């Protein structure tokens, strides 16, 4: 019997929240099915209602991303990464920042990495909400005034607060980002910084110098052998104006 494959279910056409999971598969050289790419948007529908395959053994997901692995069907980005961290092999950035251990609930670093991840995903959600502050079902154009106000608060208050927090934690060899135990949190910080570079290029150009470790981490993950090969491959999708990170010049600085 062959080993069950990891099947990642997500919306087609955007990196979105699934990208945190793709990066983890790629950095650990784990084979996976990217159903958004291989099947298309119709891959999502079966998991958003009762009666999906294996629904007798799993709660119905609220929203993608969804991971299907054998009989297990689970949702929520941090939850999927937590599950994988108990199973995948070494996360290898090619320069010594690698981890070959699998996570357990007895290891403090599991909870350090999960806290870092959850905080980075909060920043990811706030970046999304800059263009959809009122209603996810409305077009951006129909909530643009609130978006402009929210983006200002995001640029002036939230991004500096998150970056300052990240910068401080990169100094910590034992339990922060990019420790001797590289983790999904390092990949997540890379992804959000990459998204901000796309969506808020003027803001980032101005503040980049204040957070040298954050941008060094971004560069280090980006240029690591496995991630750089992934980014250059046709498995990788560019940011666009349908995803979490959107480049609307009026939301960036003047």
Q: Candidates 22, 37, 131, 150: give the one binding a second copy (CB under 8 A).
A: 150
98 near a second copy, judged by CB under 8 A? no
112 near a second copy, judged by CB under 8 A? yes
Instruction: State the CB neighbour count (10 A cutoff) for residue 105.
Output: 8
C-beta closer to a second copy: residue 61 or 195: 61
Q: Which stretch binds a second copy (CB under 8 A): 27-35, 39-47, 57-65, 89-97?
A: 57-65
Taking the C-alpha atoms of residue 154 and residue 156, their distance in angstroms, rounded to an integer, is 6
DSSP, collapsed to helix, strand or coil, labels residue 139 as coil
Tokens read off for 252 = 């960036």
Nearest distance from C-beta of residue 63 to a second copy, angstroms? 8
**Cα-to-chain-centroid distance, residue 243:** 12
111 near a second copy, judged by CB under 8 A? yes
C-beta closer to a second copy: residue 30 or 58: 58
Taking the C-alpha atoms of residue 235 and residue 160, their distance in angstroms, rounded to an integer, is 32
**Helix H or strand E segment including 147:** helix 144-153
Taking the C-alpha atoms of residue 227 and residue 221, their distance in angstroms, rounded to an integer, is 7
Judged by CB under 8 A, the number of residues near a second copy is 57
Taking the C-alpha atoms of residue 106 and residue 89, their distance in angstroms, rounded to an integer, is 18
Nearest distance from C-beta of residue 111 to a second copy, angstroms? 5
Pairing of strands 72-75, 91-92: unpaired
Q: Candidates 82, 97, 188, 244: give the one binding a second copy (CB under 8 A).
A: 82
Q: Candidates 13, 33, 52, 74: give the one binding a second copy (CB under 8 A).
A: 74
Q: Is 215 left (phi over 0), alpha (psi -120 to 50) or beta?
A: alpha
Dihedral sign for Cα atoms in the order 213, 246, 240, 136: positive
Nearest distance from C-beta of residue 238 to a second copy, angstroms? 27
C-beta closer to a second copy: residue 48 or 208: 48
Peptide bond into 65 cis (omega under 30): yes
76 near a second copy, judged by CB under 8 A? yes
User: Which residues between 174 and 233 bind a second copy (CB under 8 A)?
Assistant: 174-176
58 near a second copy, judged by CB under 8 A? yes
Residues of this chain that interact with a second copy (CB under 8 A) are: 50, 55-62, 71-72, 74-76, 78-79, 82-83, 85-86, 102-106, 108, 110-112, 114-116, 118-119, 122, 125, 129, 133-138, 143, 146, 149-150, 153, 157, 162, 165, 168-169, 172, 174-176
């Amino acid at each position: 019997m062959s080993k069950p494959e990891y099947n990642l279910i997500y919306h087609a056409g955007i990196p979105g929240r699934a990208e945190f999971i793709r990066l983890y598969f790629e950095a650990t050289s784990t084979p996976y099915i990217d159903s958004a790419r291989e099947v298309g948007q119709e891959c999502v529908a079966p998991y958003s209602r009762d009666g999906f395959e294996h629904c007798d053994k799993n709660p119905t997901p609220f929203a993608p991303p969804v991971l299907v692995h054998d009989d297990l069907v689970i949702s929520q980005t941090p939850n999927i990464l937590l599950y994988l961290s108990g199973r995948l092999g070494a996360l290898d950035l090619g320069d010594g920042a690698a981890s070959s251990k699998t996570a357990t609930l007895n290891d403090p670093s599991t909870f350090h990495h999960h806290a870092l991840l959850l905080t980075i995903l909060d920043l990811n959600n706030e970046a999304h909400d800059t263009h959809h502050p009122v209603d996810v079902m409305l077009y951006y154009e129909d909530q643009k005034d609130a978006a402009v106000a929210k983006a200002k608060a995001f640029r002036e208050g939230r991004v500096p607060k998150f970056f300052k927090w990240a910068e401080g934690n990169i100094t910590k060899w034992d339990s922060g980002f990019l420790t001797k135990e590289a983790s999904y949190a390092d990949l997540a910080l890379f992804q959000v910084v990459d998204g901000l570079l796309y969506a808020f290029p003027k803001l980032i150009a101005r503040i980049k110098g204040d957070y040298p470790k954050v941008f060094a981490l971004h560069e280090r993950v980006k240029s690591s052998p496995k991630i750089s090969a992934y980014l250059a491959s046709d498995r990788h999708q560019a940011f666009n104006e349908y995803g979490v990170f959107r480049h609307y010049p009026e939301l960036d600085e003047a």
